[in-house]
Structure 1
Amino acid sequence: MKILIAQPVHEGGILQLRKDIENNEDVDLVIYPEGYICDEILLEDTCKLARLHNTMIITSYKKDFKDRALIIDKDGNKILERWKTPAEFKCELYEPLVVETNKLCIGYLLCMEILKGYRDLEKANRKIDFIVHPIGVGMFSNEQFNLWINEAKRIAKKYNTMIIGTSHADGSYRNCGISIPISYCIDKSGEEIYISKSDTRTRIIDLNTKTIIERG
């Protein structure tokens, strides 16, 4: 299985997503950041794109200015869709946390949900093949960068599964003006396959060989 992991800039359409899929027809799955799809009209266009190119898409979209988790299968069906969990730590992760498709069990954590994954993914009660972690914008400090990477490693080891995350290349948390774009892939032992910090190149990873191709 080949997965394209992108760090696009924010846009009012899906031109970057369309280009990535059209230029990489051998890719099975494309991962884009939280909130890349900015409205429900573009959501329907994205479903058509997945169906046209027989490519799974994992990202999130905006509805009523709030973020919703999203996994679209190769037939253009929304097979995982839910609201983002509130940030309060006592609030448990919203479900579904996993989806089964093409003999795979895929886990999903949306941005700050990474901080609850170690505790709450037990609710899934099944073996997860890999977890996808769409992130809205880059980290606002090196401390946050290290915290989120360490959480990903803890989750990978606890649940014996790979975890993949990516953010937009632009924007900052609450417009604070500080952004460290992030992209990473951690294997099931908690070891890094790659960790990208302020390097916004697109990457394609082959899950069978764990080889990485960098683009751009």
Structure 2
Amino acid sequence: MKVLIAQPVHEDGNSQLENEIKRNPDINMLLFPEGYLSCENKLAKTCSLAKENNKLIITSYRKENKNRAAIIDPKGNLILERAKTPPDEKEELITPLSVSYKNIEIGYLLCMEILKGIRDLKKVNKALNFIAHPIGVGMFSDEQFNLWIEEAKNIARTYKTMIIGTSHADGSYRNCGVSIPISYCIGSDGEPVYIAKSDTRTRILDLDTKEVTII
């Protein structure tokens, strides 16, 4: 199975998502960042897009100015939807943290939730084929970039699963003015399949062979 990993710029619609589907008809899944879908109307349109093109779409949408998890199956059904976990350290990850699709168990961490992954993914009592990690904007420092990659490596080793993350190409955390776009895939052994730092090109990952194509 092939997953397209995108680093779009923020937009009101979903034209970048639609264009990626048109340009790459042989892909099975698409991973887009946290908050790519700006509202519930855009989520509904994206469900229709998934059904029309028979694609599984992993992303996030905004509702009442808050980001929420979203995985849409190729029939246009929202098969995973939940709130984002509050950042307070005492708050455990909100479930569900995974969903089954065609005998594949897909884990899901939304942006800063990765910092709670080692502790709380034990709630998932199934083996994960991979974890999707939609990120809102790029990292605000090299230190944060390195920290999140190390967390991803530790999660991959601990739960023996691949983890794939991506951010928007633009924007910055709390409009601080600093942004290091990030896209990555860590294998189930904790070793990088690829790490993209300030390189916002779209990638296609073959989940079976681990081959990565830059487009």
- Shorter-chain TM-score range: over 0.9
**Which residue matches 1:206?**
206
CA distance, structure 2, for counterparts of residue 22 and residue 43 of structure 1 = 19
Residue 161 of structure 2 is aligned to residue 161 of structure 1: yes
CA distance in 1, matches of 2:144, 2:184: 14
* SS state at 1:118 partner: helix
Rounded to whole Å, the distance in 1 between the matches of 2:108 and 2:41 is 23
- Paired residue secondary structure (2:62): strand
Aligned to 2:9: 9
Whether 1:23 and 2:23 are equivalent positions in the alignment is: yes
Q: Give the letter for the 1:64 counterpart.
A: E
Shift of residue 47 of structure 1?
Answer: 0.2
Match of 1:114 in 2: 114
Distance across 2 between alignment mates of 1:195 and 1:135: 14
Taking structure 2 as the reference length, the TM-score comes to 0.99
Matches of 2:118 and 2:22 in 1, distance apart? 36
- Equivalent pairs counted in the alignment come to 215
List alignment gaps of at least 5 residues for structure 2: none
Letter in 2 for 1:120: D
Q: Residue type matched to 2:49 in 1? A: L
AA aligned to 2:18 is: R
The code of the aligned residue for 2:150 comes to: N
**Structure 1: 5+ residue stretches without partners:** none
1:125 is displaced (CA, Å) by 1.2
Structure-2 separation of matches of 1:149 and 1:127:
22
C-alpha RMSD over aligned residues? 0.4
Match of 1:135 in 2: 135
AA at the equivalent of 2:92: E
TM-score, reference length from structure 1: 0.99
1:38 and 2:9 aligned: no
Which residue type is aligned with residue 74 of structure 1?
Answer: P
Q: What's the CA shift string for 1:115-146, capped at 9, x where partnerless?
A: 00010000011101100000000000000000
1:81 aligned to 2:81?
yes
Deviation of 1:23 (Å): 1.1
Identity across aligned pairs (percent)?
Answer: 63
User: Take 1:74 and 1:176, find their aligned partners in 2: how far apart are those partners?
Assistant: 37
Which residue in the other structure is 1:176 paired with?
A: 176
Once residues 127 and 175 of structure 1 are traced to their aligned partners in structure 2, the CA distance between those partners, rounded to angstroms, is 38
**Match of 2:146, as an amino acid?**
N
Q: Partners in 2 of 1:163 and 1:105 — Cα distance? A: 12
Measured after TM superposition, the shift of residue 207 of structure 1 is 1.2
Matched, 1:146 2:146: yes
Q: Deviations over 1:52-82 (max 9, x none)?
A: 0000000000000000000000100000000
Q: Give the 4+ runs in structure 1 shifted more than 4 A.
A: none
